[in-house]
């Protein structure tokens, strides 16, 4: 009977040979192989290395074979196949209703937004706009345990998954879901921290994305105006919604250059992300208001 170690090597080799795109919640063929093995064996993610020497369950063989075929032949992300993903150490339910959790903004949240959050007290009201399955807002709620978090999205299906993730992480007393067009449901000056990972892929870029992205909701990826349309709306609206010491954290990935071209006089500062990712800006409420007053936003 094959051990978990033997199966792990076999599955990793199959994934490596399939020409897949990694990064949808699991960063490598090894990580995906571990996730598939544990899911097939119906075991929780927290395991010691001692498991590697244990025999792989016979009853899990068929499930593993089916999962591996779906991954390699259909190119579905592993997070959708196993129904879960992790971001910043938090476990999320994951399916086709929303993008797989993976935003690099989570890195900043785990660091308490240092050095950008300068206020004496932590943010009290946080909004995750275009929240999808709610991952960023829920990570923020775990990093700032005194905060109330609003998860906002226009898509009811994504919000239904977000609501499930709120319950799954037992945060229903502090995290709330609102169906709204971007930031339309919020009052002026009512928000301390806006987290925004809006659709930002241009139509041209969509055509070149790996097949894994075809399984995610297209409207959660693509935006008009070369990917900048929704980011521009968020930038212009956030200035009035943020409290005096508030912050906007905006992710636009490789659309950063197009956004700079759309706003050539705005001095964006893009955050260095040592753990991976690009196109994340942290902007203070005062900067946004100054840019609006100067007519450059």
Q: 99-293 has which CATH code?
A: 3.40.50.150
Percent of the chain with pLDDT over 90: 94
For 29-113, where are the alpha helices, taking DSSP H only?
29-40, 61-69, 78-82, 105-110
pLDDT at 190: 87
Phi first, then psi, for residue 106 (nearest 5°) are -60, -35
Report residue 26 as tokens.
């699991």
pLDDT at 202: 93
pLDDT at 53: 95
| Average pLDDT, integer, range 31-51 | 96
CA 162/CA 209 separation, integer angstroms: 25
pLDDT at 187: 81
Question: Do residues 2 and 55 lie in contact, with contact meaning Cβ atoms separated by under 8 Å?
Answer: yes
CA 107/CA 100 separation, integer angstroms: 16
- Does the pLDDT of residue 276 top 90, yes or no? no
Q: Per residue in 147-184, pLDDT tens?
A: 999 999 999 999 999 999 999 999 999 999 999 999 98
Q: Per residue in 65-115, pLDDT tens?
A: 999 999 999 999 999 999 999 999 999 999 999 999 999 999 999 999 999
pLDDT at 136: 98
Report residue 273 as tokens.
């992300």
pLDDT at 122: 94
Q: Per residue in 8-26, pLDDT tens?
A: 999 999 999 999 999 999 9
Question: Do residues 64 and 49 lie in contact, with contact meaning Cβ atoms separated by under 8 Å?
Answer: no
Question: Do residues 220 and 132 lie in contact, with contact meaning Cβ atoms separated by under 8 Å?
Answer: yes
| Average pLDDT, integer, range 118-141 | 96
| Average pLDDT, integer, range 200-214 | 95
- Does the pLDDT of residue 274 top 90, yes or no? no
Please give the model's pTM, rounded to 2 decimal places. 0.95
- Does the pLDDT of residue 139 top 90, yes or no? yes
Task: Give strand pairing partners of 90.
Answer: 87
Domain boundaries, the chain: 4-82, 99-293
When pLDDT is cut at 50, 70 and 90, the band that residue 119 belongs to is: confident
Dihedral sign for Cα 210, 63, 61, 7, please.
positive
């Amino acid at each position: 009977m094959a051990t978990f170690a033997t199966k792990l090597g076999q599955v990793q080799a199959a994934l490596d040979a399939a020409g897949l795109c990694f990064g949808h919640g699991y960063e490598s063929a090894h990580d995906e192989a571990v996730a598939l093995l544990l899911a097939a064996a119906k075991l929780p993610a927290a395991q010691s290395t001692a498991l590697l020497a244990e025999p792989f369950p016979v009853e899990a063989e068929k499930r593993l074979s089916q999962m591996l075929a779906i991954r390699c032949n259909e190119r579905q992300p592993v997070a959708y196949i196993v129904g879960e993903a992790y971001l910043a150490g938090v476990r999320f339910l994951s399916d086709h209703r929303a993008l797989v959790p993976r935003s690099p903004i989570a890195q900043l949240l785990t660091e308490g937004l240092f050095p950008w959050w300068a206020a004496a007290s932590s943010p009290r009201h946080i909004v995750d706009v275009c929240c999808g399955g709610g991952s960023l807002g829920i990570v923020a709620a775990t990093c700032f345990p005194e905060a109330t978090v609003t998860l906002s999205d226009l898509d009811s299906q994504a919000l239904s998954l977000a609501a499930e993730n709120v319950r799954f992480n037992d945060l229903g007393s502090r995290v709330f879901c609102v169906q709204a067009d971007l930031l339309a449901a919020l009052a002026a000056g009512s928000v301390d921290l806006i987290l925004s990972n809006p659709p930002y892929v241009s139509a041209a870029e969509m055509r070149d994305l790996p097949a894994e992205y075809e399984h995610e909701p297209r409207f959660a990826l693509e935006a008009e105006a070369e990917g900048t349309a929704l980011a521009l709306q968020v930038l212009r609206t956030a200035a009035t919604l943020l409290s005096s010491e508030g912050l906007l954290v905006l992710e636009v990935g490789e659309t950063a250059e197009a956004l700079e071209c759309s706003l050539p006089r705005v001095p964006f500062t893009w955050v260095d992300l040592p753990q991976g990712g690009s196109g994340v800006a942290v902007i203070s409420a005062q900067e946004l208001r100054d840019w609006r007053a100067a007519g450059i936003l």
